[in-house]
Amino acid sequence: MYKDYAGIVKAWEATVRKTQNSAKKRANSIFAAMSVAPADDEPGPGELHHTEKAIPNGDFYTGQWMDSTPHGHGKYLWTDGCMYVGEWYKGKTIGKGKFSWPSGATYEGDFKSGYMDGKGTYTGSSGDTYRGCWVMNLRHGQGTQNYANGDYYEGEWRRGCQDGQGRYQWKNENHYVGQWRNGKMSGNGSMVWNDGNRYDGCWEEGFPKGDGTFRWADGSSYVGVWSKDSTELTGNFYTSDTSGTEMSSNPRELLGEYLNDCVICSGERILIYPSQKMISWSGLDLDSLPRQTVSRKGSDGIRRLRRTSVDGKISNASFESFNDSSNEPSSRNGKGTRLLDLDSKGKRQPTCGFQSANRQGVTISKGHKNYELMLNLQLGIRHSVGRPAPATSLDLKSSAFDPKEKVWTKFPPEGSKHTPPHQSSDFRWKDYCPVVFRTLRKLFEVDPADYMLSICGNDALRELSSPGKSGSFFYLTHDDRYMIKTMRKAEVKVLLRMLPAYYKHVRSFENTLVTKFYGLHCVRVTGTAQKKVRFVIMGNLFCSEYTIHRRFDLKGSSLGRITDKPEAEIDGTTTLKDLDLNYIFRLQKIWFQEFCRQVDKDCDFLEQERIMDYSLLVGLHFQETSYQEASTPESHHSGSRDSDCETDCLSRADKEQDSARWASISLGINMPARVERTVRHGEPETQLVGEPTGELHDVIIFFGIIDILQDYDISKKLEHAYKSFQYDPSSISAVDPKQYSKRFRDFIFRIFLEDT
């Protein structure tokens, strides 16, 4: 019987590479010859069995099946000639597999949720071969690329390009060893030509830039500063004792001639990715698809075929396969949102069935108690950002960081020479260290016009419903890009004190996880109240197209670190704490390594600045949930695609979506990851991190270090001394910065693990 299956599949593979119509005809002829199994031979829920399915659009699947989705080992054939053979998990290509294209190109290696992800080998139709690490369809990590023209590259990759340390060798044996950035030689490196000449020094965008030395094979050398701009080129030519030759031409032009023969090969492009071909199983009426199943052995020990034939529906969505709700427990509340599970002791156990988070905060409209404050803030920001200022270098003078470096501006209602008339009360506006914060915005690549539009546009700010523990109020811009926090005077002093070190740190580490500060200001109403409101403008970590389904504020301490909120009220806007945490976070290897390095660097910085009581804010977007929300009846269409043109358009749109998604990913922002459910078997206070259960979910994760303006002052020392008499000193938040840093790191590295 299985030989018959092999013949059928082989015939199908030959047919599927011709046309979609012939594929459909072949499918009908195959299944017309199948016998029908008795109805009582239906596989039960959760039972693995073999099946063959002809999809109405002409595609074909054969392999293991469980609960209405491919599960186990299986083969999927597309009508355009693409084919996947390998492991499936609940409808997703996860594990080892091989994907082949009609052109003859193949990828063999690891898959995650339809993406080439892990270790694998891509062999192009032209002869290009890449062996190494992949993340979301792109070369990312260590890998070796052999090009069809004879060149090869071995080293680090990032987002599909050479990035990091690597070696590129041309077929003529010229080679470069050094640093790369975005596919070009950038940083420190050495180029060696096959005639013995070489250049050692700095590179930028594929050309020497900065200090460097060019050495001829005879021992002569040119040492100096290199640049494409001849006016910046300076240096000295040295003749060797044996050479006796002189420099006869411009060294920049000479080096340019040598580099003309050293072109980096772009390699073969992958025109369509496996993730763009994945079928959205949850969009299908799976029970109505034509199906042949190798049934279990009955009492007679004979395997029989069963066929069910009714019309089926197929979604034309082609981006990515997500699990449907059948993979989740069925316990839900009246609104279709899963309730939080409880453990044996009645403690909350968050699950991944979530309701969509509403936009946070209350819009500040006319009549709101802080309406005038919002107007003052917007007027002040518009004045500060729009004020003409000379272009600044990233190398700031120490005077720019002086706490006394501040600018006061009067805003009378009737207007003045420098300020417009307004409807608010008379107030004064203060900018702290304006040059520093203007340069920080430049460093963080914030466009001044966009910044001003976000905060000062026609849309009002939103005030979060309740103040923080410190009594500070938070406001969000209408586009969620920026958060504005009112500050105590002590916090302002801490920020100004640490500002030079903060600037140096964020400039040195572009992937720093510490809060990004964009401005520090003060509003003082000049009436009888003489009220002062100080505030800082920060980036909003959760500004994303993805809905945040769960958010956690994590410190690594246990005293009071639980959310006092009824279970029914917990949603995506609720900030849960350490004792509410029921997940561990699994990052892909290259991200995990970078995460560990950056957490250490950031904690060292905060420890040196005597800062404590900071948190790691984590947000999770569960991908399964997002698919359920998107899979409305209106979003699916019956039948096959109308034309090849429509397929091409969808393919281009998917590739653009993939590219845009990659461009938005950085450490802690829009990162693909997995979370594993944990359960505590004892009291939460004695078991801060629960036991892993093996229940895994694909997520988009966000994280960053927040609340970095609390120094270990006398009040915190007294708090530590007082609480130490009542509680375990290791469980309280207020501890010495060095001890806090160690405890924080130990906890973070227990809940963040490498995804194996």
Q: What kind and span of H or E run contains 532? A: strand 532-539
Whether pLDDT at 575 is above 80: yes
Condensed to tens digits (0 to 9), the pLDDT of residues 43-69 reads 666 678 888 888 777 888 889 888 778
How far apart are alpha carbons 629 and 357 in whole angstroms? 12
Is residue 290 within 8 A of residue 309, CB to CB? The reply is: yes
For helices 737-751 and 589-608, give the axis angle rounded to 10 degrees.
170
Q: How many residues does the chain have?
A: 756
The mean pLDDT value for 645-657 works out to 48
Is residue 504 within 8 A of residue 396, CB to CB? The reply is: no
Q: What is the pLDDT of residue 334?
A: 34
Condensed to tens digits (0 to 9), the pLDDT of residues 709-727 reads 887 655 555 554 555 555 5
Confidence label for 98 from pLDDT (cuts 50, 70 and 90) = very high
Overall fold of domain 48-238: Outer Surface Protein A; domain 3 (3.90.930)
Going by the DSSP 8-state scheme, the letter that residue 625 receives in this structure is H
Condensed to tens digits (0 to 9), the pLDDT of residues 296-315 reads 433 333 333 333 322 222 23
Is residue 227 within 8 A of residue 209, CB to CB? The reply is: yes
Share above pLDDT 70 across residues of the chain, in percent, rounded to a whole number:
70
Confidence label for 15 from pLDDT (cuts 50, 70 and 90) = very low
The mean pLDDT value for 402-424 works out to 82
Is residue 359 within 8 A of residue 662, CB to CB? The reply is: no
Is residue 96 within 8 A of residue 86, CB to CB? The reply is: yes
**What SS3 class is residue 253?**
helix
**The two three-digit tokens of residue 155, written as one number:** 């080293």
3-state secondary structure 437-463: HHHHHHHCCCCHHHHHHHHHCCCCCEE
**The two three-digit tokens of residue 707, written as one number:** 């609340």
338: left (phi over 0), alpha (psi -120 to 50) or beta: beta
Amino acid at site 616: L
List the domain boundaries for the chain: 48-238, 364-540, 544-624+665-755
Amino acid at site 516: K
Listed range (18-22, 114-118, 383-387) with the worst mean pLDDT: 18-22
Share above pLDDT 90 across residues of the chain, in percent, rounded to a whole number:
23
**The two three-digit tokens of residue 366, written as one number:** 């006319």
- Where b means 16+ CB within 10 Å and e means fewer, 100-130 reads bbeeebebbbbbbbbbbbbbbbbbbeeebbb
- Give ∠ CA 96-353-558 in degrees, rounded to 5: 95
Q: What is the pLDDT of residue 595?
A: 95
The mean pLDDT value for 607-625 works out to 88
Going by the DSSP 8-state scheme, the letter that residue 26 receives in this structure is H
Report the chain's mean pLDDT, rounded to a whole number: 75
Name the nearest CA neighbour of 547 among 719, 727, 670.
670
β-pairing, 671-679 vs 752-754, is unpaired
**The two three-digit tokens of residue 279, written as one number:** 């079928």
- Where b means 16+ CB within 10 Å and e means fewer, 722-750 reads ebeeeeeeebbbbbebeebbebbbebbee
Whether pLDDT at 564 is above 90: no
The neighbour count for residue 532, using CB atoms within 10 Å, is 12
**The two three-digit tokens of residue 266, written as one number:** 């772009």
Whether pLDDT at 506 is above 60: yes
Tell whether domain 364-540 is in CATH 3.30.800.10: yes
Confidence label for 416 from pLDDT (cuts 50, 70 and 90) = confident
102: left (phi over 0), alpha (psi -120 to 50) or beta: alpha
Amino acid at site 298: G
- Judge if 364-540 and 544-624+665-755 fold alike in CATH terms: no
Q: What is the pLDDT of residue 618?
A: 95
Beta carbons within 8 Å of 368's beta carbon, 6+ residues apart: 362, 374, 463
- For the domain 544-624+665-755, what is the CATH superfamily, name and number? 2-Layer Sandwich (3.30.810.10)
Name the nearest CA neighbour of 115 among 323, 273, 296, 303.
273
Is residue 157 within 8 A of residue 141, CB to CB? The reply is: yes
For helices 20-32 and 2-16, give the axis angle rounded to 10 degrees.
160
For tokens 């120490």, what's the residue?
A: 398
pTM: 0.61
Whether pLDDT at 24 is above 50: no
Report the DSSP beta bridge partners of residue 293. Answer: 51, 306
Q: What is the pLDDT of residue 705?
A: 95
Range 136-142 contact pairs with CB under 8 angstroms and sequence separation of 24 or more: 136/275, 136/658, 136/661, 136/662, 136/672, 137/270, 137/273, 137/274, 137/275, 137/658, 138/662, 140/590, 141/589, 141/590
Report the DSSP beta bridge partners of residue 118. Answer: 134
Confidence label for 501 from pLDDT (cuts 50, 70 and 90) = very high
How far apart are alpha carbons 76 and 86 in whole angstroms? 9
How far apart are alpha carbons 457 and 454 in whole angstroms? 6
For tokens 């811009």, what's the residue?
A: 477
